[in-house]
Amino acid sequence: MGGTYKEKERMPSKKVSRKKLLKEPDEFISTTGQVIEFLRTHQRQVTRAAVIVLIVIAAGAGTFYYLRSQEGKALVMQQQGLQLYQQAYQGSLENPAADKKSDFQKALEKFKGSLAAYSWGRTAQVSRVFIGNCYYALKEYDQARAAYSKSLEGPFRHLAMNGLAYISEAQGDFQKALEYYQTNMKDPHQPYRIESMLGAARCYEALKEKPKALEIYQKALAQDPQSAMADFIRWKVSELKG
């Protein structure tokens, strides 16, 4: 009988002569040769493809730096707009009878310029919200509504929602304004919830629903008894209790 399986397994494999190995083509050398031959045959197509790739890379880099530059310009104009808006808003609070239309108009032009320079991301969203604020201050409510409506998605949606509510209040549609405020009130963590609650209370008062207005004022006071509006809210609670 022949040897066992283990004995066969230990048997050396058949030797191949060095002469035969030298005659067989090296796989790496063979493949490299094929690549070189392909490049030589298709030189024009390969060159064209390489040029296209380089153009795409260069265009991408150019676009990136262009957008960064445009965003920088947009931020400068936006900051100028914010300063103008704050001055106009503060002036209107200190002297409600003063005509601040030209000041709000100047701020509006800055925000429009910022948005024209760069219309993506948070930078653009801030400009859109303040474009709405400026139009609201100018009593151009249709334009204000259009600006706020474009900001209902993203981090400033609560500001935009309150803006839409202010427009409805200004136009006497208290039921619609109330719906906007109530939508904003559903999020307990949004930073403008107190403003939304006060707006809802105002709407209930305008709709002659004083018990509901009182309830909202009391909830607002309980939520933040140290807020800047706390004294005003206490006065409203006292007034409505009669």
Q: For residue 3, is pLDDT > 80?
A: no
At 133, the pLDDT band (50, 70, 90 cuts) reads very high
- Which class in CATH covers the domain with range 152-242? mainly alpha
pLDDT of residue 80: 94
Residue 150, classed as helix, strand or coil, is coil
CA distance 214 to 237: 6
Closest CA to 80 of 127, 23, 124, 149: 127
The domain locations on the chain are 53-148, 152-242
139, 167 contact by CB (below 8 A): no
At 5, the pLDDT band (50, 70, 90 cuts) reads very low
CA distance 239 to 147: 36
Q: What residue has token string 């991301």?
A: 121
Q: Other CB atoms closer than 10 Å to residue 25's CB: what's the count?
A: 9
pLDDT of residue 165: 97
Helix H segments across 43-94?
43-94
CA distance 59 to 54: 8
CA distance 105 to 134: 7
Tens digits of per-residue pLDDT, 88-120? 999 988 888 788 899 999 999 999 999 999 988
Look up residue 163 and give its two tokens: 């803006």
pTM, whole model, 2 decimals? 0.70
Rg (CA), the chain: 36
Tens digits of per-residue pLDDT, 173-192? 999 999 999 999 998 888 88
pLDDT of residue 52: 54
